[in-house]
């Protein structure tokens, strides 16, 4: 699964730590999502989309391998 | 001294063990079992204990695991406390990584038992004559695999 979390974060001028605090996870979790090592649950994806005020599928999209 | 430490460990094991039972409520979601882990600060109790075991063994003048049962049993207790303490932020990533680490370490345990049992065939008595030493080495190795997988994955050293 691909995601534009890093870009969205840059637009909002948020660090990984800021975003982690906003949605109540660790900084390592944000880092793992950005690098594609971890696919978040629906709940976490919805929390992320709420922070960036976008739809979930605008931030996360399916990859060819999915 | 060893008798006192041994008794303290027996009592501590029973108290800690009870914490892992989800008393009064049933759950079939493995990730929901994590609230029953030990608190975050307990990790430092485990680290302190490991340090004590190492220093005590050095004072005893015996740092050889095959002849020092205290070193083996003490290491196991310390590793157990570190392994089953929560992270500062025990989020869904930590919970899933914990479960994967548990899965990998259990598979490692089965293969290590296989390797050790093969030694018993090639060299009869090598395992059974010192079963305690081998058993503790097996379980310490399993916990080390668990901790290594968990922290390497969590801090992104592993794809």
As a whole number, mean pLDDT of residues B95-103 equals 91
**Band of residue B27 on the pLDDT scale cut at 50, 70, 90:** low
Q: How far is A36 from chain B (nearest CA, A)?
A: 9
Is residue B23 pLDDT above 90, yes or no? no
Report pTM: 0.83
**Chain B interface, best mutation among A19, A29, A34, by max B CB count within 10 A:** A29
Matching residue, tokens 């501590």 = B12
- pLDDT tens, position by position, B32-89: 656 578 899 999 999 999 999 999 888 888 777 777 888 889 999 999 999 999 998 8
As a whole number, mean pLDDT of residues A40-66 equals 91
Burial class of B93 by CB neighbour count within 10 A (0 to 12, 13 to 18, 19+) = buried
The answer to whether the CB of B31 falls within 8 A of the CB of B99 is yes
pLDDT value for B105: 95
What distance in Å separates the CA atoms of residue B65 and residue B86, rounded to the nearest whole number?
Answer: 29
Is residue B24 pLDDT above 60, yes or no? no
| Nearest chain B residue to A30, by CA | B93
**Chain B interface, best mutation among A20, A25, A28, by max B CB count within 10 A:** A28
Matching residue, tokens 């006192």 = B4
SS3 content of chain B, % helix, strand, coil (to 5): 75, 0, 25
């Amino acid at each position: 699964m691909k995601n534009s979390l890093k870009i969205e974060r840059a637009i909002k001028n948020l660090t990984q730590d800021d975003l982690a605090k906003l949605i109540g996870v660790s900084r390592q979790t944000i880092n793992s999502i950005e690098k594609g090592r971890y696919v978040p649950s629906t709940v976490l994806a919805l929390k992320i989309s709420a922070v960036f005020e976008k739809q979930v599928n605008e931030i996360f999209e399916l990859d060819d391998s999915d | 001294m060893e008798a006192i430490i041994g008794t303290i460990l027996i009592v501590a094991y029973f108290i800690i063990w009870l914490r892992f039972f989800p008393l009064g409520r049933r759950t079939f979601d493995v990730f929901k079992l994590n609230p029953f882990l030990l608190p975050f600060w307990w990790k430092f109790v485990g680290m302190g204990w490991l340090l004590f075991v190492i220093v005590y063994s050095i004072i005893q003048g015996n740092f050889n695991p095959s002849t020092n049962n205290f070193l083996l049993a003490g290491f196991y207790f310390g590793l157990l406390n570190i392994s089953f303490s929560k992270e500062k932020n025990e989020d869904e990533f930590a919970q899933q990584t914990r479960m994967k680490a548990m899965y990998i370490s259990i598979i490692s345990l089965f293969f290590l038992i296989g390797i050790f049992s093969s030694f018993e065939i090639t060299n009869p008595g090598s395992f059974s004559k010192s079963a305690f030493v081998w058993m503790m080495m097996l379980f310490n190795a399993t916990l080390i695999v668990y901790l290594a997988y968990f922290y390497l994955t969590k801090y992104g050293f592993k794809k």
